[in-house]
Amino acid sequence: MLATRRFKSLPLAPVIRRNSTAAGPPPPEGHSPTIATSQLLRSTKERALRTPGLVWNDDEPSNAIVSVGRECRKMNVYQSVRDALSIALTKNDNAVVFGEDIAFGGVFRCTMGLAEEFGRERVFNTPLTEQGIAGFAIGMALMGHTPIAEIQFADYIYPAFDQLVNEAAKIRYRSGGQFNVGGLTIRTPTMSVGHGGLYHSQSPEGFFMGASGLKVVIPRSPIQAKGLLLSAIRDPNPVIFMEPKILYRSAIEQVPIDDFELPLGRAETLVAGADLTLLTWGTPVYSCETALHMLADPPPALAPHVPESLRKAKVELIDLRSILPWDAEAITQSVSRTGRLVIVHEAGMTAGVGAEIAAEVQKRCFLRLAAPVKRVTGWDTPVALQFEKFYIPDAVRILDSIVETLSY
Amino acid sequence: MFRPLSSSRRLPLARQVHLGHLPHTRSPLVPTLSFFNSVTGSDEKIPTFRVLDGVGKPVDGAQLPEIDEAFARRLYENMQLLPTLDTVLYNVQRQGKISFHHGEEATVIGSAAALEPDDEVLGQYREMGVLLWRGFGIDSVFAQCFGNQDDTSGKGRQMPVHFGSPTHHFQTISSPLATQIPQAAGVGYALRRSPDRRSRSIAACYFGEGAASEGDFHAGLLLASTIPSPTLFIARNNGFAISTPSTEQYYGDGIASRGPGYGIDTVRVDGNDILAARRRTLEQGRAVLVEAMTYRVGHHSTSDDSFAYRQRSEVEDRKRIDNPLARFRLFLEAQGWWNAADEEELKARLKADVMKAFKHAESLTKPELGELFTDVYAGEEPWNITEQRKELTGLLKKYGETWEPWRTELARFKNKGQDLTQA
């Protein structure tokens, strides 16, 4: 049935190979990692339980430091989001989940079975009105409840912009701290899938970066999604939680089934290095991983463009995770060591999140910088459907920028 | 003395005792407390206007619009074209050749025929029928859906069925819902202010009942009524938006009940008969709201000849389905304007035309890659766009020939990216 206004039939399965470096068998470009084979994903229980920064949130606090023997289950991102929502609903009777089409499971299946499990009073469909959804959620949060609302696509969050930026972000401040909507969490699928065009590919995180009072979080994987979402739900501030939609099915990890949280406002270093800092969040994390692989071991077609002398370079890969507030300390600490920074995001360059970070880094690390801060981003155009492969920054563009910055 | 509110015992407002009016309103003052939750003044739902019954016969007391054989046949042929196109596009989408396809409603042809060819249309994404009626052509449909070099709607930038054609007075489609509704009020007002269009053209705005939940719906109707403009709002109500049934979209009496709230003349019709509504819009120079109770003609039910009807039982089937396409065909047959041979010929011809256009569209490349950067602005191009085009060009020169994934992708564009690299 194609009766979707928001293209819920947008097929995800065929687009897992988003990254152009993964296109076409046999790979003439060598065997660079893709999302499916990423080393950044914690595919064993042992690695999952060693996730940095993970804090157990047990009913019995005495067990909270014990990781050994905890159960994990293989999940993709939509399953881990569902798992987090289920935990939130179970542990907090004031928590409710709502949005367009979420009762049948949601366009991306993140709410599958929740309505049956927790009842329609707590998990329910709304009419198609994003401003209404945000306003309704703010109202519940004002009463101390825990609304977890879904905006079906981040591209459609703009009707809710007024409620989020003028209301959710400012209520605590304008009431002198008397009122707040700390219980509010807005989940929304973000970024490109490779064939979404203008209105199913956007990365609007930058638009919210100036809205102090809000937090903005983007996870990269199932473990991250679960831990960060539970933190977002429990954080005493309104949080916009953007889930990269191509990762819903393609990113798979062993995910601890217990209740746990990961810290907001903290970046995570995924690969340590001393020569260049590569900073990103969401889907491009995996393009960056591919680019690092290409740098160290370039396939023949790229080898002429990667000087031998640079192939041993140690690049530090950092996942920013929280866009607002962002972890300036971790980034500047890294750049102070490496002297070089490349920022990758899917949104356009102008006034993107990279602009803010570049400005702050040049202030804090001015004398340490050995090269200009480089941004690898979408172009300053809308996302054009048939042109997406040359719009979204891919591994080759990232590699090229790394080489250029290293040889500056 | 107060009685418990009982809607069935409620007095019609007009018959209540008059105590005069408040100074600034014509609202009569009354001594009885009476809640109301209906625009009909009773428990009755807003009625639905219908001309043809389930088997294509004019209903008692209905006045048929005057249409001749040629016009009726043209209507039917266009109505049949939609499911034919739909079936192919649907299958093409399933094969992954296009990213998306939305089902169409054959009855949209009826509304298209009631409009003048230069009435400005603001659609959602089920109004391909309006374009077909106006002569947009099957080739242009496929070119847009494939986003190939012949896509005049948006140079391959938009998802399938996001058409647009100034020639056909069909404004460019946007995926966000309901954004066209307040725009339609502005289009109508501009028409009123254009000497050559005033008293001649209207703005016709289509949307589904789901879109009517968006804030833009309310804003649009409010503006169109307070700033009078010849704008015809056509709400298609097919009973469900996405997976969510209309019972979860609204609690009131459909979309029609909202019109009077904005002081807008409103009618609910079966199908898409909007001839009278258009006339009213134009004559009054004010907005009119039509709630069209529609049915989607599903791809599967129309892809074969399962509708070939020769036996009474099959006619009964159709009556049960109450399919407007079938109803109109029965009407044509009753007039002696159509028969089984016509039907067979039409279906074969449409299928051949559609397949030919499909194959042609499939063989074409994407537009030139440089189109990625055009049309962001008119006039002088800002430096950032210019620099980013140069940046991509440099990367293509460096990697486009040797890096297989890029080379493969470049080959899909007209001139293989040389419009940038050879410039």
> Which of A200, B141, B83 shows the shortest CA–CA distance to B91?
B83
Q: Beta-carbon neighbour count of residue B219 at 10 Å?
A: 14
pLDDT at B13 over 60: no
Q: Work out the percent of chain A whose per-residue pLDDT is above 90.
A: 88
The pTM of the full predicted model, rounded to 2 decimals, is 0.91
Cβ of residue B271 closer than 8 Å to a chain A Cβ: no
pLDDT at A322 over 80: yes
Q: State the pLDDT at residue B126.
A: 86
Distance from CA of B301 to the nearest CA of A (A): 13
For A274-297, the pLDDT digits (tens) are 999 999 999 999 999 999 999 999
Domain match, B179 and B260 both:
yes
Is the Cα torsion angle A173, A175, A179, A181 positive or negative in sign? negative
Whether residue B177 and residue A379 make contact (CB cut-off 8 A), yes or no, is: no
Domains held by chain B: number: 2
Tell me which chain B residue has its CA closest to the CA of residue A389: B409
Residue B224 lies in a domain: yes
Contacts of B382 in chain A (CB under 8 A): 380
Q: Measured between CB atoms, which of A132, A379, A386 is closest to B156?
A: A386
Q: Which of residues 386-405 of B touch A (CB under 8 A)?
A: 388, 392, 395, 398-399, 402-405
For A36-56, the pLDDT digits (tens) are 999 999 999 999 999 999 999
Tokens of A111: 């709410």
The helix/strand/coil state of A149 is strand
Is the Cα torsion angle B377, B381, B387, B389 positive or negative in sign? positive
Tell me which chain B residue has its CA closest to the CA of residue A401: B395
Residue B28 lies in a domain: no
Residue A293: active-site member: no
> Which of B318, B422, B313 shows the shortest CA–CA distance to B370?
B422
Domain match, B292 and B379 both:
no
Whether residue A380 and residue B376 make contact (CB cut-off 8 A), yes or no, is: yes
Domain match, B390 and B283 both:
no
Q: State the pLDDT at residue B320.
A: 53
Q: Cβ neighbours of residue B79 under 8 Å, at least 6 residues apart?
A: B106, B107, B109, B110, B129, B324, B325, B328
Residues B170-189: what's their mean pLDDT? Answer: 97
Q: Work out the percent of chain A whose per-residue pLDDT is above 70.
A: 91
Q: Cβ neighbours of residue A350 under 8 Å, at least 6 residues apart?
A: A380, B384
Q: State the pLDDT at residue B300.
A: 32
**Catalytic one among A100, A200, A205, A388?**
A200
Q: State the pLDDT at residue A187.
A: 98
Helix B340-363 to helix B138-146 angle (10° resolution) is 40
Residue B171 lies in a domain: yes
Residues B235-250: what's their mean pLDDT? Answer: 77
Contacts of A103 in chain B (CB under 8 A): 243-244
pLDDT at B44 over 70: yes
Residue B154 lies in a domain: yes
Tell me which chain B residue has its CA closest to the CA of residue A351: B384
Q: Measured between CB atoms, which of A158, A197, A380 is closest to B384?
A: A380
**Choice among A20-34, A176-190, A305-319, B2-16 with the minimum mean pLDDT:** B2-16
Q: Measured between CB atoms, which of A100, A350, A384 is closest to B156?
A: A384
For A336-353, the pLDDT digits (tens) are 999 999 999 999 999 999
Distance from CA of A20 to the nearest CA of B (A): 6
- State how far Cα A404 lies from the chain centre: 27
Q: Please name the fold of domain A267-406.
A: Rossmann fold (3.40.50)
For A250-269, the pLDDT digits (tens) are 999 999 999 999 999 999 99
The DSSP code sequence of A172-237 is: HHHTTTS---TT-EEEEEES--SS-GGGSS--GGGGGTT-BTBEEE---SHHHHHHHHHHHHHSSS
Residue A200: active-site member: yes
Q: Which domain holds residue B375?
A: 366-421
CA–CA distance, A91 with A61 (Å, rounded to integer): 15
Residue B87's CATH number: 3.40.50.970
For A191-226, the pLDDT digits (tens) are 999 999 999 999 999 999 999 999 999 999 999 999
**Choice among A141-145, B110-114, B274-278 with the minimum mean pLDDT:** B274-278
pLDDT tier at B104 (50, 70, 90 boundaries)?
A: low
pLDDT at A141 over 50: yes
Whether residue B213 and residue A128 make contact (CB cut-off 8 A), yes or no, is: yes
Contacts of B408 in chain A (CB under 8 A): 23-24
Q: State the pLDDT at residue B5.
A: 44
- For an interface test with B, the pick among A120, A294, A390 (most B C-beta atoms closer than 10 Å) comes out as A390
Which residues in chain A are classed under CATH 3.40.50.920? Answer: 267-406
Domain match, B269 and B171 both:
yes
As a CATH number, domain A45-57+69-261 is: 3.40.50.970
Domain match, B289 and B376 both:
no
The residue type found at B2 is F
